[in-house]
Amino acid sequence: MKISDIIPKLIEGDRRALARVISWVENESLGYDEVLQQLHFNKNIPIIGITGPPGAGKSTLINAYTKYLIEQNKKVAIIAVDPSSPFNKGALMGDRLRMSEHFLHPNVFIRSMATRGSLGGLAPKIFEVADVIRASNFDYIIIETVGVGQSEVEIAALADTTVLVLVPEAGDDIQTIKSGVMEVADVYVLNKADRDGANTFYKNLTLLAQNNMSEHWEAPVVKTIASKYEGMKELDEAISKHFKSLHNNQRRLLLLAEKALLFIKNIRSKDVHIEQIAKELEAVYQNENFNIYRFVKKYI
Protein backbone atom coordinates (compact mmCIF):
# COMPACT_ATOMS: atom_id res chain seq x y z
CA MET A 1 0.00 0.00 0.00
CA LYS A 2 1.26 3.48 -0.91
CA ILE A 3 1.92 6.14 1.71
CA SER A 4 -0.59 8.46 0.03
CA ASP A 5 -3.25 5.74 0.37
CA ILE A 6 -2.57 4.63 3.93
CA ILE A 7 -2.45 8.01 5.71
CA PRO A 8 -6.15 8.88 5.08
CA LYS A 9 -7.12 5.42 6.34
CA LEU A 10 -4.96 5.92 9.43
CA ILE A 11 -6.61 9.26 10.19
CA GLU A 12 -10.07 7.70 9.76
CA GLY A 13 -9.20 5.09 12.38
CA ASP A 14 -8.72 2.05 10.15
CA ARG A 15 -7.15 -0.51 12.50
CA ARG A 16 -5.34 -2.40 9.76
CA ALA A 17 -3.77 0.81 8.48
CA LEU A 18 -2.75 1.72 12.04
CA ALA A 19 -1.16 -1.67 12.66
CA ARG A 20 0.69 -1.50 9.33
CA VAL A 21 2.11 1.97 9.97
CA ILE A 22 3.22 0.94 13.46
CA SER A 23 5.04 -2.04 11.95
CA TRP A 24 6.69 0.26 9.40
CA VAL A 25 7.92 2.48 12.21
CA GLU A 26 9.12 -0.37 14.44
CA ASN A 27 11.03 -2.00 11.58
CA GLU A 28 12.18 1.32 10.10
CA SER A 29 10.83 0.25 6.73
CA LEU A 30 11.66 2.36 3.71
CA GLY A 31 9.65 5.58 3.81
CA TYR A 32 8.57 5.35 7.47
CA ASP A 33 10.14 8.72 8.29
CA GLU A 34 8.19 10.30 5.42
CA VAL A 35 4.98 8.94 6.94
CA LEU A 36 5.83 10.49 10.31
CA GLN A 37 6.55 13.85 8.72
CA GLN A 38 3.15 13.90 7.02
CA LEU A 39 1.10 13.10 10.12
CA HIS A 40 -0.94 15.62 12.08
CA PHE A 41 -0.82 14.87 15.81
CA ASN A 42 -3.89 15.68 17.88
CA LYS A 43 -2.60 17.50 20.98
CA ASN A 44 -5.94 16.99 22.71
CA ILE A 45 -5.44 13.23 23.02
CA PRO A 46 -3.80 12.57 26.40
CA ILE A 47 -0.96 10.07 26.61
CA ILE A 48 -1.18 8.41 30.02
CA GLY A 49 1.87 6.57 31.32
CA ILE A 50 1.27 3.85 33.93
CA THR A 51 4.35 2.84 35.88
CA GLY A 52 5.22 1.27 39.21
CA PRO A 53 7.02 -1.67 40.81
CA PRO A 54 6.23 -5.30 39.93
CA GLY A 55 3.10 -6.65 41.57
CA ALA A 56 1.43 -3.26 41.91
CA GLY A 57 -1.37 -4.35 39.57
CA LYS A 58 -0.63 -2.07 36.62
CA SER A 59 -2.19 -4.37 34.02
CA THR A 60 -5.25 -4.96 36.19
CA LEU A 61 -5.62 -1.22 36.71
CA ILE A 62 -5.36 -0.54 32.97
CA ASN A 63 -7.94 -3.24 32.32
CA ALA A 64 -10.36 -1.68 34.83
CA TYR A 65 -9.72 1.88 33.65
CA THR A 66 -10.23 0.85 30.02
CA LYS A 67 -13.55 -0.74 30.95
CA TYR A 68 -14.61 2.53 32.59
CA LEU A 69 -13.58 4.58 29.55
CA ILE A 70 -15.36 2.44 26.97
CA GLU A 71 -18.48 2.61 29.12
CA GLN A 72 -18.19 6.38 28.56
CA ASN A 73 -18.05 5.61 24.80
CA LYS A 74 -14.36 6.58 24.59
CA LYS A 75 -11.85 5.07 22.17
CA VAL A 76 -8.73 3.76 23.87
CA ALA A 77 -5.33 2.67 22.55
CA ILE A 78 -3.10 0.64 24.86
CA ILE A 79 0.61 0.05 24.41
CA ALA A 80 1.88 -2.67 26.74
CA VAL A 81 5.67 -2.58 26.90
CA ASP A 82 7.01 -6.05 27.61
CA PRO A 83 10.49 -6.90 28.91
CA SER A 84 12.56 -8.64 26.27
CA SER A 85 15.45 -11.05 26.09
CA PRO A 86 18.80 -9.24 25.79
CA PHE A 87 19.85 -11.84 23.23
CA ASN A 88 16.98 -12.26 20.77
CA LYS A 89 15.17 -8.99 21.62
CA GLY A 90 11.78 -10.72 21.67
CA ALA A 91 9.12 -10.05 24.29
CA LEU A 92 9.19 -12.32 27.34
CA MET A 93 5.75 -11.42 28.65
CA GLY A 94 2.33 -10.70 27.16
CA ASP A 95 0.39 -8.22 29.27
CA ARG A 96 -2.30 -8.26 26.59
CA LEU A 97 -3.43 -11.59 28.06
CA ARG A 98 -4.55 -9.76 31.20
CA MET A 99 -6.67 -7.44 29.07
CA SER A 100 -8.26 -10.23 27.04
CA GLU A 101 -11.82 -9.05 27.68
CA HIS A 102 -11.10 -5.96 25.53
CA PHE A 103 -9.42 -7.73 22.60
CA LEU A 104 -12.39 -7.64 20.26
CA HIS A 105 -13.98 -4.42 21.44
CA PRO A 106 -14.27 -2.00 18.48
CA ASN A 107 -13.26 0.99 20.65
CA VAL A 108 -10.02 -0.60 21.91
CA PHE A 109 -6.67 -1.09 20.17
CA ILE A 110 -3.96 -3.05 22.02
CA ARG A 111 -0.34 -3.39 20.94
CA SER A 112 2.62 -5.01 22.70
CA MET A 113 6.14 -3.70 22.20
CA ALA A 114 9.40 -5.19 23.43
CA THR A 115 11.95 -3.06 25.29
CA ARG A 116 14.77 -4.65 23.23
CA GLY A 117 17.23 -3.97 26.01
CA SER A 118 16.21 -0.39 26.79
CA LEU A 119 16.85 0.42 30.46
CA GLY A 120 14.22 3.13 30.87
CA GLY A 121 11.17 0.88 30.93
CA LEU A 122 10.13 1.78 27.38
CA ALA A 123 10.55 0.39 23.87
CA PRO A 124 12.98 2.20 21.53
CA LYS A 125 10.30 3.23 18.99
CA ILE A 126 7.53 3.98 21.45
CA PHE A 127 7.72 7.77 20.99
CA GLU A 128 7.04 7.44 17.27
CA VAL A 129 4.39 4.75 17.77
CA ALA A 130 2.55 6.93 20.29
CA ASP A 131 2.55 9.77 17.75
CA VAL A 132 1.19 7.47 15.05
CA ILE A 133 -1.69 6.52 17.35
CA ARG A 134 -2.19 10.18 18.23
CA ALA A 135 -2.74 10.86 14.53
CA SER A 136 -5.61 8.36 14.50
CA ASN A 137 -9.06 8.74 16.08
CA PHE A 138 -8.58 7.81 19.74
CA ASP A 139 -9.62 9.66 22.88
CA TYR A 140 -6.98 8.18 25.20
CA ILE A 141 -3.57 6.53 24.77
CA ILE A 142 -2.40 4.40 27.71
CA ILE A 143 1.19 3.16 27.98
CA GLU A 144 2.29 0.59 30.54
CA THR A 145 6.00 0.35 31.34
CA VAL A 146 7.53 -3.03 32.11
CA GLY A 147 7.89 -2.43 35.85
CA VAL A 148 10.96 -4.67 36.08
CA GLY A 149 12.82 -2.12 38.18
CA GLN A 150 12.62 1.46 39.38
CA SER A 151 14.33 3.27 36.53
CA GLU A 152 11.22 3.94 34.44
CA VAL A 153 11.63 7.71 34.51
CA GLU A 154 11.67 7.94 30.70
CA ILE A 155 7.89 7.66 30.80
CA ALA A 156 7.74 11.29 31.99
CA ALA A 157 9.27 12.46 28.71
CA LEU A 158 6.62 10.60 26.73
CA ALA A 159 3.44 10.83 28.78
CA ASP A 160 1.33 13.91 29.36
CA THR A 161 0.29 12.41 32.68
CA THR A 162 2.39 9.86 34.56
CA VAL A 163 0.50 7.60 36.97
CA LEU A 164 2.55 5.78 39.61
CA VAL A 165 0.81 2.66 40.94
CA LEU A 166 1.71 1.47 44.44
CA VAL A 167 0.27 -1.03 46.94
CA PRO A 168 0.08 -1.08 50.76
CA GLU A 169 2.74 -3.80 50.87
CA ALA A 170 5.29 -1.10 50.06
CA GLY A 171 5.05 -0.39 53.80
CA ASP A 172 5.45 2.82 55.77
CA ASP A 173 8.89 3.53 54.38
CA ILE A 174 8.31 5.03 50.93
CA GLN A 175 12.09 5.58 50.67
CA THR A 176 12.30 2.00 49.40
CA ILE A 177 11.05 3.45 46.12
CA LYS A 178 13.67 5.50 44.31
CA SER A 179 13.03 9.23 44.41
CA GLY A 180 13.37 9.59 40.63
CA VAL A 181 10.29 7.48 40.02
CA MET A 182 8.38 9.21 42.82
CA GLU A 183 9.14 12.65 41.45
CA VAL A 184 7.91 11.98 37.90
CA ALA A 185 4.45 11.01 39.12
CA ASP A 186 1.60 13.40 38.34
CA VAL A 187 -0.97 11.10 39.94
CA TYR A 188 -0.34 8.52 42.67
CA VAL A 189 -2.58 5.46 42.75
CA LEU A 190 -2.84 3.37 45.89
CA ASN A 191 -4.11 0.12 44.39
CA LYS A 192 -5.42 -2.83 46.41
CA ALA A 193 -6.64 -0.20 48.89
CA ASP A 194 -8.71 -2.80 50.76
CA ARG A 195 -5.62 -4.51 52.12
CA ASP A 196 -4.08 -4.15 55.59
CA GLY A 197 -1.99 -1.03 56.08
CA ALA A 198 -3.70 0.89 53.27
CA ASN A 199 -4.81 3.83 55.42
CA THR A 200 -1.36 4.36 56.93
CA PHE A 201 0.31 4.12 53.55
CA TYR A 202 -2.25 6.54 52.08
CA LYS A 203 -1.39 9.17 54.74
CA ASN A 204 2.35 8.79 54.11
CA LEU A 205 1.87 8.98 50.35
CA THR A 206 -0.26 12.11 50.70
CA LEU A 207 2.47 13.79 52.76
CA LEU A 208 5.06 12.87 50.14
CA ALA A 209 2.85 14.27 47.38
CA GLN A 210 2.61 17.55 49.29
CA ASN A 211 6.39 17.69 49.67
CA ASN A 212 6.86 17.14 45.92
CA MET A 213 4.22 19.65 44.85
CA SER A 214 5.17 22.28 42.28
CA GLU A 215 3.89 25.77 41.65
CA HIS A 216 1.23 24.47 39.26
CA TRP A 217 0.38 20.99 40.49
CA GLU A 218 0.07 18.84 43.60
CA ALA A 219 -0.16 15.17 42.70
CA PRO A 220 -3.34 13.63 44.14
CA VAL A 221 -3.46 10.19 45.74
CA VAL A 222 -6.28 8.04 44.37
CA LYS A 223 -7.41 4.86 46.12
CA THR A 224 -8.39 2.01 43.80
CA ILE A 225 -9.29 -1.66 43.95
CA ALA A 226 -8.70 -2.47 40.31
CA SER A 227 -9.76 -6.11 40.60
CA LYS A 228 -13.21 -4.88 41.66
CA TYR A 229 -13.25 -1.94 39.22
CA GLU A 230 -13.38 0.54 42.12
CA GLY A 231 -11.91 4.06 42.01
CA MET A 232 -11.85 4.39 38.22
CA LYS A 233 -14.05 7.51 38.11
CA GLU A 234 -11.79 9.24 40.64
CA LEU A 235 -8.71 8.19 38.67
CA ASP A 236 -10.18 9.57 35.44
CA GLU A 237 -11.05 12.86 37.13
CA ALA A 238 -7.48 13.22 38.45
CA ILE A 239 -5.97 12.45 35.03
CA SER A 240 -8.31 14.86 33.23
CA LYS A 241 -7.62 17.63 35.73
CA HIS A 242 -3.87 17.22 35.29
CA PHE A 243 -4.06 17.12 31.49
CA LYS A 244 -6.04 20.38 31.46
CA SER A 245 -3.39 22.01 33.67
CA LEU A 246 -0.67 21.28 31.08
CA HIS A 247 -1.67 23.87 28.49
CA ASN A 248 1.01 26.54 28.13
CA ASN A 249 2.99 24.75 30.83
CA GLN A 250 6.77 25.29 30.74
CA ARG A 251 7.34 21.70 31.86
CA ARG A 252 5.57 20.42 28.77
CA LEU A 253 7.90 22.45 26.53
CA LEU A 254 10.95 21.06 28.36
CA LEU A 255 9.67 17.51 27.90
CA LEU A 256 9.09 18.20 24.21
CA ALA A 257 12.67 19.46 23.98
CA GLU A 258 13.84 16.19 25.61
CA LYS A 259 11.86 14.27 22.99
CA ALA A 260 13.40 16.30 20.14
CA LEU A 261 16.89 15.72 21.58
CA LEU A 262 16.22 11.98 21.75
CA PHE A 263 15.21 11.89 18.08
CA ILE A 264 18.34 13.85 17.10
CA LYS A 265 20.55 11.40 19.02
CA ASN A 266 18.83 8.40 17.40
CA ILE A 267 19.26 9.85 13.91
CA ARG A 268 22.95 10.59 14.46
CA SER A 269 23.60 7.05 15.74
CA LYS A 270 21.35 5.35 13.21
CA ASP A 271 24.22 3.66 11.34
CA VAL A 272 25.85 2.35 14.53
CA HIS A 273 24.76 -1.20 15.44
CA ILE A 274 25.63 -3.15 18.58
CA GLU A 275 26.49 -6.29 16.57
CA GLN A 276 29.02 -4.28 14.54
CA ILE A 277 30.54 -2.78 17.69
CA ALA A 278 30.77 -6.20 19.35
CA LYS A 279 32.58 -7.62 16.32
CA GLU A 280 35.08 -4.77 16.31
CA LEU A 281 35.60 -5.09 20.07
CA GLU A 282 36.33 -8.80 19.73
CA ALA A 283 39.36 -7.96 17.61
CA VAL A 284 40.87 -5.37 19.98
CA TYR A 285 39.63 -5.64 23.57
CA GLN A 286 42.29 -8.17 24.64
CA ASN A 287 45.10 -5.80 23.71
CA GLU A 288 46.96 -4.56 26.77
CA ASN A 289 46.62 -0.94 25.71
CA PHE A 290 42.88 -1.18 24.92
CA ASN A 291 41.03 1.99 25.88
CA ILE A 292 37.26 2.23 25.52
CA TYR A 293 37.39 6.02 25.09
CA ARG A 294 39.83 5.80 22.19
CA PHE A 295 37.68 3.04 20.72
CA VAL A 296 34.47 5.10 20.68
CA LYS A 297 36.15 8.25 19.40
CA LYS A 298 35.83 7.11 15.78
CA TYR A 299 32.05 6.99 16.18
CA ILE A 300 31.81 10.54 17.53
pTM exceeding the 0.95 threshold for the entire prediction: no
Ordered structural domains, the chain, with CATH: 1-40 (no CATH), 41-261 (3.40.50.300), 273-297 (no CATH)
The pLDDT, as a whole number, for residue 176 is 53
The pLDDT, as a whole number, for residue 178 is 56
The pLDDT, as a whole number, for residue 149 is 46
* 126 alpha carbon, distance to own chain's centre: 7
The pLDDT, as a whole number, for residue 89 is 45
Low-confidence ranges of the chain (pLDDT < 70): 1, 82-100, 115-124, 146-154, 170-181, 247-252
∠ Cα 240 246 250 (to 5°): 165
Which amino acid, one-letter code, is at 102? H
Checking DSSP bridges between strand 161-166 and strand 108-114, what pairing results, if any?
unpaired
The secondary structure of 132-162, three-state, reads HHHCCCCCEEEEECCCCCCCHHHHHHHCCEE
